Structure 1
């Protein structure tokens, strides 16, 4: 199943959130729906990635300190994503009834961490 055909409600909601941000492009990366700003990845939706049974959105953090703090403070919400984790990313669970305000905030923050200065100086989001 490709990212385009995976029309889960969580992916549809993430798509709505991410595509509202300036200059965002969605394209598949490693078979996953992935969102980019200025060719820099800032969010990736993973549903049953490599058979793990999880539904998450992976987002950037400011670094390993923030990553560790989020995972320690809310281990039911945040986890270390495969492949992206060593770069300071977190996986935010989409299982059950996620806190969509939190999801939206984390996606927007991740966009800010990836966006070029010209977008941030122009007022960003």
Structure 2
């Protein structure tokens, strides 16, 4: 990791096609085409933990929370929709894995035409 968790998460989110960032509910949040949220930063907003919340494919939230509740959780407000919470205050964050989680979140929200651009160079 070369920066803070926020800087790393920002880098991953903004690398995706037509992604923007703005504050939402007082936290940095990333949007597809400025409209649909796919990742929300959670800097101690609802508890004393640093995390992010993101869209997730069906069943992934339940699978990851059951597998590793020290790293993953069901976030408030959006958890009932299958969104995943990922703690960023744990030791040994695997940023490649976080990048895959962020890309999966994007795929859940972005239109097909933008998802297709993810695999295209430049």
- Which residue of 2 is the match for residue 16 of structure 1? 11
The answer to whether the aligner puts 1:110 opposite 2:73 as a matched pair is no
Partners of 1:19 and 1:66 in 2: CA distance: 23
SS in 2 for 1:86: helix
Partners of 1:75 and 1:58 in 2: CA distance: 14
The answer to whether the aligner puts 1:67 opposite 2:61 as a matched pair is yes
RMSD over aligned Cα, in angstroms? 1.4
- Which residue of 2 is the match for residue 55 of structure 1? 50
Q: Give CA deviations for 1:11-42 in whole Å, capped at 9, x if unaligned.
A: 11111111111000001111111001131111
How many residues in Structure 1 have an aligned counterpart in Structure 2? 115
State TM-score, norm by structure 1. Answer: 0.85
State TM-score, norm by structure 2. Answer: 0.87
Which contiguous aligned blocks of 4+ residues in structure 1 show a shift greater than 2 angstroms? none
Contact 1:112–1:124 (Cα < 8 Å) also in 2: no
- 2:115 alignment partner, one of 100, 112, 120: 120
The answer to whether the aligner puts 1:98 opposite 2:83 as a matched pair is no
Partners of 1:14 and 1:66 in 2: CA distance: 20
SS in 2 for 1:62: coil
Partners of 2:92 and 2:53 in 1: CA distance: 17
The answer to whether the aligner puts 1:80 opposite 2:74 as a matched pair is yes
Where structure 1 has 5 or more consecutive residues not aligned to the other structure, the ranges are: 1-7
- Which residue of 2 is the match for residue 4 of structure 1? none
